[in-house]
Amino acid sequence: MTRLCYRGEQKREQKFFHVMGTLMFKWIVIAILVLVILAGGGAAVAYGRAAKKPANVWKSAKVKRGDLNTTVMASGKVGPVQTVQIGAQASGLVKEVRKGPNDSVKKGEVLALLDTELLDADRRAAQVRLNQVRAAAALLQIQHDDLRLRDLKLKSDREHKKLSLDRAKATFDMTKKVYDRSVPLVGMAMSQLDLERLQTEALNANRDHSMLKLDVELCDVDAEQILADTRKLAAQEEQAQADVLQAEAALARAETNLRYATITSPIDGVVLERTIELGQTIAASFQTPNLFKIASTLTEIRIEAHVDEADIGRIAAGQDVKFEVDAYSGESLSGQVLMARLQPTMLNNQETTPVTYPVVIRASNPADAVHPFGKLLPGMTASLQFTIEHRADVLLLPAAALRFKPENAPAAPSHATTVPKPGAAWGTIYLAGSDGALVPKSIAVGASSADSYELIESPLKEGDAVVTGEKHDGNLFNDEGD
């Protein structure tokens, strides 16, 4: 009995859960159907609102005719055309300082003076040394003149002794002939004593000839000695001349060091920085210390901009540049591209970082009563706009019209099958119909600026209104910044 009651209760529970499951499934199906219906109705309403609204709901702008400038943006630093770091090549105590920051200078004008006592002493010592070596060279010249005179005298003596030698030779030959002829006459026409006297005369004549011959040979030896002395003296003269040149160089160096004690400006300009003070000791033995930093006249300045590698191909010398600086915000200044340098710049020298190229711009910076060096000062940051291309008298489409992408708008027509002109691209804009419905149009645009595109191929004409956004789309700002 108990088992039958338990089975009955189990069947009632199964029936209850079956009924409840069926009811829950039905409610879930109903909820899903309601959500689907609501979503479809919302989409239809949204489509209806996008496809057809009152005409005054759309914000529009007109197609205009005018000039278009294609630009590239960059930033750079204002600097002088030329900057010179002026150092000291001489050591010494700073005796006088005549110029400071913001002072105008002329080429050759004295900026500072160093004490010259030691430098002047070095110059005097170099002068004394030069005088000594010049005196030594003069003595060698005197010796050279003496040798020349000795050589002339020796040549004269040799010629004289050569004549005497020839005379002695003739005398010897004559006495020998007389002696030879007299030998057969001894005992007949001549005595033995006379023959012996003739013999003695012949022997003496021979001895005189030999002595004179030795004298001529000694003259030749003296000539060789004079030649050797001349060569030695020539070497001494060369050494003396080298000593003179060395002493002259030392004197020139001392005089140059003395001139270096006067620090002058190499250019016309203005002093940007001074790093010395009166009484300071300058030591230029191991490294040239920088004393002044001078910029060329600031009536013309140079801006070094860094242009991205994607834009550098469109930068060329002679292009016009517009720029602004923070100090005169809103004031447009102009310049011109001087050159685009070949050396790239990479952040931290890493090849994976963006690459830029330095572009040098020159601009005028006239002085006035308020700004004696011009309004633009070295170090100012300039925001630059390079004029890459100028298109005159073309149809201009507001850029906001291409940016406008309405939700659930009518499908845009397919672009024309023809290929637009080189540099142009297809796009879609929207016109507002009389009933507020959006009408898509296919257009081709070319060059662009910050706020306009050049219309290349389009059914639009000057004065046509194109949709750029909604007037009441819930945004605080619309496309035109109203």
Helices marked H in 54-116 — which ranges? none
**Half-sphere exposure for 129 (CA within 13 Å, toward CB):** 18
Q: Which of 415, 482, 412, 481 is nearest to 450 (CA)?
A: 481
Residue 230 has pLDDT above 50, yes or no: yes
Distance, CA of 158 to CA of 163 (rounded, Å): 9
pLDDT at 199 over 60: yes
pTM, two decimal places: 0.56
The answer, yes or no, to whether residue 4 has pLDDT greater than 60, is no
**Mean pLDDT (whole number) for 41-50:** 47
Average pLDDT for residues 206-233, to the nearest whole number? 84
CB contact at 8 A, 129 and 253: no
Q: How far apart are the first and last CA of the chain?
A: 88
Distances, alpha carbon 341 to alpha carbons 241, 333, 360, in Å: 52, 23, 8
Looking at the predicted structure, is the pLDDT value of residue 477 above 80? no
Average pLDDT over the chain, rounded to an integer: 80
Tens-digit pLDDT profile for residues 286-317: 677 888 999 988 889 999 999 988 889 889 89
Q: Using an 8 Å Cβ cutoff, are 361 and 335 in contact?
A: yes
pLDDT reading at 174 higher than 70 = yes
Q: Which of 242, 365, 210 has its CA nearest to residue 296?
A: 365
Encode pLDDT of 94-124 as tens digits: 999 999 998 989 999 999 999 988 889 999 9
Write out pLDDT tens, residues 329-369.
889 999 999 999 988 887 766 666 788 899 999 999 998 88
